[in-house]
Structure 1
Amino acid sequence: MVVLYSALVMGALGLAFGLFLAYSNEKFKVEADPRVEMIINVLPGINCGACGYPGCEGYANAIVKKGDAIDKCLPGKKSGVQEKIKEILDSNK
């Protein structure tokens, strides 16, 4: 009988904590700008730091949120990253 009660209590606690986590996930959701993800996909992804930011994600956030220059990615200059970023920023205004 003790095993049954223990299993029921653990199941109820698991359900309660699961519902709490689901509620918290919706309540405290952070909306991300889709342009950041699009710019990250355009950047080479080598996280070299040549732009002055700690990786491509930091540079993409700086472009979208701070309005930083789009020509700082040195490894991406040959592949036309600057033009692609400009297209993303112009198309989502």
Structure 2
Amino acid sequence: MVILYSALVMGALGLGFGLFLAFSNEKFKVEVDPRIEQITKVLPGINCGACGYPGCEGYASAIVKKGDAIDKCLPGKKMGVIERIKEILEQNK
């Protein structure tokens, strides 16, 4: 009988904590601008830091949020990154 009660208590606790986590996830959801993800996919992804930011996602975030220059990615210049970033920013105005 003790094992049955223990299993029921653990199941109820697991269910309660799971519901709490699901509610917290929805309550404290952080909205992210979809342009940041699109620009990150366009960048080379080598996280070299040549742009002055700690990785490609940091640079993409600076472009969208701070309006930083789009020509700082040195490895991406030959790949046509600047033109694709312009398209993304113009497309989602």
TM-score, normalised via structure 1 length:
1.00
Question: What percentage of residue pairs aligned between the two structures are identical?
Answer: 85
The whole-number CA distance in structure 2 between the counterparts of 1:42 and 1:76 is 9
Match of 1:20 in 2: 20
Write the mapping of 1:50-89 to structure 2, written as runs, cut at 5 A: 50-89=50-89
Structure 1 position 64, deviation (Å): 0.2
Gaps of 5+ in 1: none
Encode CA deviations 1:7-48: one digit per residue, 9 max, x unaligned: 000000000000000000000000000000000000000000
The whole-number CA distance in structure 2 between the counterparts of 1:45 and 1:55 is 8
Structure 1 position 2, deviation (Å): 0.3
TM-score, normalised via structure 2 length:
1.00
Gaps of 5+ in 2: none
The whole-number CA distance in structure 1 between the counterparts of 2:74 and 2:83 is 13
The whole-number CA distance in structure 2 between the counterparts of 1:54 and 1:31 is 21
Size of the aligned set, in residue pairs, is 93
Instruction: List structure 1 runs of 4+ shifted beyond 6 angstroms.
Output: none
What is the SS of the residue equivalent to 2:52?
coil
CA RMSD of aligned residues (A): 0.2
